[in-house]
Amino acid sequence: MKRLVILGAGTAGTIAANKMRRKLKKDEWDITIVEQAPLHDYQPGYLFMAFGRQRIRQIRRPVPRLLPRGVTLISGSVESLNRDEKTVVLADQTVVPYDYLVIATGVSPRPDQTPGMGGGQWGKSIHSFYTFDDALALKEKLATWEGGRLVMHVTEMPIKCPVAPLEFSLLADSFFRRRGMRDKVSITFVTPLPGAFTRPIAAATLGDLLGSRDIAVEPDFMIERIDEDTHALVSYDEREVPFDLLVTVPVNMGADFVGLSGLGDDLNLVEVDKGTMLSTKDDSIFALGDATNIPTSKAGAVAHFQMDLFVDIFLRHLAGKEAEEEYDGHAICFVESGGGKGLLLDFNYETEPLPGSFPFPLIGPLRLLKESRINHWSKLAFRYVYWMLLLPGRYIPMSAHLSLWGKKRPKTA
Ligand SMILES: Cc1cc2nc3c(=O)[nH]c(=O)nc-3n(C[C@H](O)[C@H](O)[C@H](O)COP(=O)(O)OP(=O)(O)OC[C@H]3O[C@@H](n4cnc5c(N)ncnc54)[C@H](O)[C@@H]3O)c2cc1C
């Protein structure tokens, strides 16, 4: 019996467990998944939760309910890997042997990495919405906040869902307008990037959108520390951005065991081949989803497209063959823009988000890089797709590869 061990039962690990169990023969392969949390969260729901627009039961489910029969779940936290012996060691010292390993332990926000961030002001004047508990605490804060300087801040890239901080700023604008207190709130978006997004055409569109909602942008802001006494972000080039309420996305880091095992970079992201997701250091280890260092967005859609190709990549690797179809970095992101509208971005390693229609030219019905109501409704509907189709690894009629159909490159770009 060969042993496949998957680490992490988040989006990528759960899809992998479901798809691999269907494809790998039961009398040849034993599949085990290790997960530290009892509950699986639909993380895009955190954004809506912060504004009181999503209920807990809509975004949380017990991990065992999402896994197929024939996959053994071990509840525990991975502490280290012993790559010579091919074993995983858990915090309670359980040893799990493997022949092949899939690391899908994602990334986590680490406020401890920025001086002044995770201290006494955390949960008071400093908030976040990148974990369940933080989103809940922010919801309570926003419900009673009387206004002032709201700063939405991104510490360092890459982060999961790089559009979520933009969405937060735009939804905050709508939220305070609805409450009749927008004139009491200034909103500033502080980013280490030169603009609102990583790629130029989308950065221009999203930057205009922020401007149209009276949201100021502070670009190229490399934070050094937070001054807890004066309530200000301080950058290495000595700029200061004062706040009354800071909503921050802390540094996102991979799991510590990745760094300790020598498989990762300085953010503990597993270094992999960007087409096959095979570790560049160990040919019995793959990584999927947010846990890797590949140069595309960290998004659930990425885990989904990778998994459309991964089973074949894995089986061909075992047979000593090159991958037939490699992953091209394809990512799709809905951007909720407030007022019941949203935008859609569709891109990959080579092609930046372009305007146009999706999935069909002219008729769409979804609009790329343009606000529309149907984009907003599609974003909301995605939650059902996530639980019912995506996690169980069922067929979703969407290509794993980017299509240029319906996309137009603006003449000036
Ligand atoms: C606020 C927010 C909004 C988002 N919006 C969108 C969106 O609109 N669209 C989109 O596509 N994506 C969105 N995302 C991103 C999406 O949720 C992630 O990209 C996706 O969940 C990545 O899947 P993953 O399996 O790689 O990691 P995760 O789903 O985070 O799973 C990692 C799992 O590994 C477990 N784990 C970690 N370390 C260990 C350890 N040492 N031992 C055992 N288990 C461990 C964790 O408990 C977790 O269950 C959003 C994320 C956030 C935070």
DSSP 309-355: HHHHHHHHHHTT---SS-----EEEEEEEETTEEEEEEE-SSS----
The pLDDT mean for the chain works out to 96
Q: What is the pLDDT of residues 248-290, one digit of tens each?
A: 999 999 999 999 999 999 999 999 999 999 999 999 999 999 9
Two tokens at 253?
């880091």
Same domain, 248 and 115: yes
Q: Which residues contact 86 (CB under 8 A, 6 or more apart)?
A: 97, 98, 99, 101, 284
Residues 270, 289: Cα–Cα separation, whole Å? 10
In-domain check, residue 388: no
More confident residue, 197 or 246: 246
Residues 298, 113: Cα–Cα separation, whole Å? 20
Residue finishing a domain among 203, 235, 252: 252
Give CA 151 to chain center in angstroms.
Answer: 21
In-domain check, residue 370: no
Give residue ranges with CB within 6 A of ligand 1: 8-13, 34-37, 43-44, 46-47, 77-78, 104-106, 129-130, 160-161, 164, 255, 257, 289-291, 298-301, 303, 333-334
In-domain check, residue 103: yes
In-domain check, residue 119: yes
Residues 149, 142: Cα–Cα separation, whole Å? 13
Residues 235, 311: Cα–Cα separation, whole Å? 45
Same domain, 21 and 103: yes
Residue finishing a domain among 236, 252, 268: 252
In-domain check, residue 28: yes
Ligand 1 atom 3: the closest Cα is on which residue?
44
Give burial (CB, 10 Å; 0-12/13-18/19+) of 74. middle
pLDDT at position 330 over 70: yes
- Residue among 330, 324, 322, 325 nearest 294 (CA): 330
Task: Report angle CA 64, 70, 71 to the nearest 5 degrees.
Answer: 50
Same domain, 105 and 122: no
In-domain check, residue 165: yes
- 122 phi and psi, to 5 degrees? -65, 125
Q: How many CB atoms lie within 10 A of CB 318?
A: 12
Same domain, 7 and 119: no
Ligand 1 atom 6: the closest Cα is on which residue?
44
CA 306–ligand 1 middle distance (angstroms): 15
Give CA 148 to chain center in angstroms.
Answer: 29
Collapsing DSSP to helix, strand or coil, 305 comes out as helix
Q: How many CB atoms lie within 10 A of CB 361?
A: 13
- Residue among 225, 191, 219, 193 nearest 113 (CA): 225
Categorize the per-residue pLDDT at 197 as very low, low, confident or very high, splitting at 50, 70 and 90.
confident
Residue 402: C-alpha distances to residues 117, 263, 311 (Å): 38, 29, 19
Give the pLDDT confidence score for residue 54 in this predicted structure: 87
Residues 134 and 249: beta-carbon distance below 8 Å: no
Tell if the pTM clears 0.95, that is, is over it. yes
CA 155–ligand 1 middle distance (angstroms): 18
Q: How many CB atoms lie within 10 A of CB 124?
A: 13
Categorize the per-residue pLDDT at 412 as very low, low, confident or very high, splitting at 50, 70 and 90.
low
Q: What is the pLDDT of residues 5-39, one digit of tens each?
A: 999 999 999 999 999 999 999 999 999 999 999 99
Same domain, 288 and 301: yes
Two tokens at 244?
């009354």
CA 154–ligand 1 middle distance (angstroms): 18
Same domain, 82 and 192: no
Same domain, 188 and 263: no
Same domain, 85 and 39: yes
Q: What is the CATH number of the domain that holds 42?
A: 3.50.50.60
- For residue 119, give its domain range: 111-252
Same domain, 126 and 39: no
Give the pLDDT confidence score for residue 157 in this predicted structure: 97
Residues 201 and 231: beta-carbon distance below 8 Å: no
Residues 112, 92: Cα–Cα separation, whole Å? 24
In-domain check, residue 406: no
Same domain, 127 and 66: no
Same domain, 185 and 273: no
The percentage of residues in the chain with a pLDDT greater than 90, rounded to a whole number, is 94
Domain count, the chain: 2
Collapsing DSSP to helix, strand or coil, 46 comes out as helix
Q: What is the pLDDT of residues 143-188, one digit of tens each?
A: 999 999 999 999 999 999 999 999 999 999 999 999 999 999 999 9
Give CA 3 to chain center in angstroms.
Answer: 29
Same domain, 9 and 90: yes
CA 269–ligand 1 middle distance (angstroms): 13
Residue finishing a domain among 318, 336, 362: 318
In-domain check, residue 383: no
**Averaged pLDDT, 44-69:** 95
